C-alpha cells in the first residue's frame, strides 16, 4: 500500500504507524457534563465501517507528521490524504463560527 503523503508524495505504508479512526482527533472535553461517558466511548468504541474510513497514520520513519487518510476498507483503495494538522484546524475554525 502506498500512502500519498501531502508533502512528500507516495510513500510505502511500512514507513507509517497506524493509530485508528480519525475521529480520535476530536478528544472530548473533561469539563463537559457527561464527560465520563464521552471519554469511555472515545477510548473504547469504534464505528469500524466496511467501506470508506477516515484514519490516522503517523509518518514515523519519515517526516513525523500525522496524516488523515481516507481509505476504503473493502478494497484498500486510498481516496484522500491530508495533514492531520490542517484537518484539525479546519474543524476548529468550523466549530468556532
Partner 1 sequence: MKYSGFRVVAEALFGHKGWKPLWRDPDPKPAYDFVIVGGGGHGLATAYYLAKTFAEKRIAVLEKRWLGSGNIGRNTTIIRSNYLLPGNEPFYEFSMKLWEGLEQDLNFNAMVSQRGILNLIHSDAQRDAYRRRGNAMLLAGADAQLLDREAVRRMYPYLNFDNARFPIKGGLLQARAGTARHDGVAWGYARGADLRGVDIIQNCEVTGFQIEGGKVVGVETSRGPIKAKKCGVCVAGSSSRVMEKAGMRLPIESHVIQAFVSEGLKPTINGVITFGAGHFYISQSDKGGLVFGGDLDGYNTYAQRGNLPVVEDVARCGMALMPAIGRARLLRNWGGIMDMSMDGSPIIDRTPIEGLYFNGGWCYGGFKATPASGYAFAHLLSTDAPHPTAAAYRLDRFARGYLIDEKGAGAQPNLH
List residues near partner 1 by CB under 8 A.
1, 12-14, 18-21, 37, 40-41, 43-50, 53, 55, 71, 73-76
Minimum distance from CB of 49 to partner 1 (Å)?
8
**49 or 92, CB closer to partner 1?**
49
Distances (CA, A) of 60 to 15, 57, 65, 94: 6, 9, 8, 29
What angle (nearest 5°) sits at the alpha carbon of residue 6, between those of residues 64 and 13? 60
Evaluated on CA atoms 93, 8, 59, 4, the torsion sign reads positive
**5 or 53, CB closer to partner 1?**
53
**1 or 90, CB closer to partner 1?**
1
Amino acid at each position: 500500500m502506498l500512502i500519498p503523503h501531502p508533502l512528500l508524495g507516495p510513500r510505502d505504508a511500512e514507513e507509517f504507524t497506524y493509530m485508528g479512526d480519525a475521529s480520535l482527533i476530536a478528544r472530548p472535553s473533561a469539563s463537559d457534563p457527561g464527560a465520563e461517558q464521552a471519554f469511555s466511548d472515545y477510548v473504547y468504541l469504534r464505528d469500524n465501517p466496511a467501506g470508506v474510513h477516515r484514519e490516522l497514520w503517523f509518518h514515523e520513519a519519515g517526516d513525523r507528521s500525522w496524516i488523515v487518510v481516507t481509505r476504503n476498507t473493502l478494497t484498500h483503495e486510498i481516496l484522500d490524504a491530508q495533514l492531520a494538522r490542517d484537518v484539525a484546524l479546519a474543524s476548529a475554525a468550523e466549530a468556532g463560527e
